[in-house]
Structure 1
Amino acid sequence: MLSPQIHLRNQWLSLLYRHHQGWLMGWLRKKLGCPHHAADISHDTFSRLLALDNLPDIREPRAYLLVTANRLMINEFRKRQVEQETLQAVALLNADDSSHSPETICSARQLLAQVLLMLSEELDEKARRALLLARVDGLGYREIAATMQVSESSVKQYLSRALVHCHARLYPGAP
């Protein structure tokens, strides 16, 4: 049987979700322009609350949800930036174009070497495997989950961990 405190917490979270999830989804759809990304960020926003051991005193639920969702969007933007820069470096190295300066090629090789080092030595096996399945093999969350025999939620966590780690290593001191 659940303790009264846990029961109250679950009731409060359920009520918060029922009253504000639709509103948050609408706001995110307008902001992101994509219902799928909006659903992911909305899900992650409420997942953050569920993961907290002690819930904060939330007097303005919508403001709290907006701040959390905005932080998640910023993190997602940063992850995509790292992905894009890595893909550009790989494309530059694979291009059969002699118009690139030696400095540009050297810089791209250094970036790629850093990413490969991070993947091979610094990331745990699950995060590394999920990242390679997503970015090299082009698999989606569901396919990666099936391949790794884990949940889609775990795949998202692995990918998030890998991309945050790569960003931190490529941009030390960046927020």
Structure 2
Amino acid sequence: MLPSPDSSFCDVALLYRQQHGWLKTWLRHRLNCSQSAADLAQDTFMRLLAKEQVPHLHAPRTFLAKVAQSVLCNHYRRQKLERAYLEALAAMPEQVAPSLETQAILLETLIALDTILEGLERPVREAFLLSQLEGLGHGEIAERLNVSITTVKRYIGKAGALCIMLDDSLDLA
């Protein structure tokens, strides 16, 4: 006998059957592309499936629109990141440009890093980026963020640990 699916899965399945068409249309109006709308609608429901429990919904379309808006923001951020990456590649001399395979791996890594950094609390993300991109020391970062040096070290350690875990999960060796 098969185990019964948990109620959260059933809730999402019902929500999918009832609202998937509406959500796809809602996204298509924002994207002007039916294929991207279909992909992001799926991403929206996948995000719901990843949750432990979906709340009881009195206004399912409002809820779906809020989740889809977050998915849409991530989509636009990834597009912007990809454009910047492609512009940087185009500016490279051809003889030093990475292979197509390496380019794909680098883009995947950039997107994963962006996702991790976006999930951090703002001061943690800022401390890490000030350290890594601007080369500021702990004291300078503490001053800018108006926190202690110990807090800056904790922030940078937290973000760095997530990046190390990402490196391990990508297994780029």
Question: TM-score normalised to the size of structure 2?
Answer: 0.55
TM-aligned CA distance change 1:24 to 1:31, over 3 Å: same
Q: Could you tell me whether the CA contact under 8 Å between 1:41 and 1:72 is conserved in 2?
A: yes
Give the conservation status (yes or no) of the 8 Å contact 2:8–2:52: no
Report the Cα offset of residue 162 of structure 1. 4.5
**2:75 is matched by which residue type in structure 1?**
E
Measured at CA, do residues 17 and 59 of structure 1 come closer, stay the same or move farther in structure 2, by a change above 3 Å? same
In 2 relative to 1, CA 132–56 (structure 1 residues): closer, same or farther, beyond 3 Å? same
Task: Name 2:3's counterpart in structure 1.
Answer: 2
Consecutive aligned runs of 4 or more in structure 1 exceeding 6 Å deviation: none
What is the identity, as a one-letter code, of the residue corresponding to 2:49?
A: L
> Once the two structures are aligned, what percentage of the paired residues are identical?
30
**Alpha carbons 1:79, 1:164 under 8 Å: kept:** no
Distance 1:71 1:88 in 2: 26
How far is 1:20 from its partner? 0.5
> What pairs up with 1:152-171 in 2 under 5 angstroms?
159=108, 162-166=110-114, 168=117
CA distances 1:2-60 after superposition (whole Å, capped 9, x unpaired): 35x81x43432222111110001111111101111001100011111111112223221
Structure 1 portions without partners, runs of 5+ = 96-111, 117-128, 136-158
How high is the TM-score relative to the length of structure 1? 0.54
- How far off is 1:133 after superposition? 6.0
Q: How many residues align?
A: 116
Instruction: Please give the alpha-carbon distance, in whole angstroms, between the structure 2 residues aligned to 1:60 and 1:91.
Output: 47
2:38 maps to 39
**What residue number does 1:80 align with?**
79
Higher relative contact order (CA 8 A, sep 6+): 1
Q: Distance in 2 between matches of 1:36 and 1:134?
A: 25
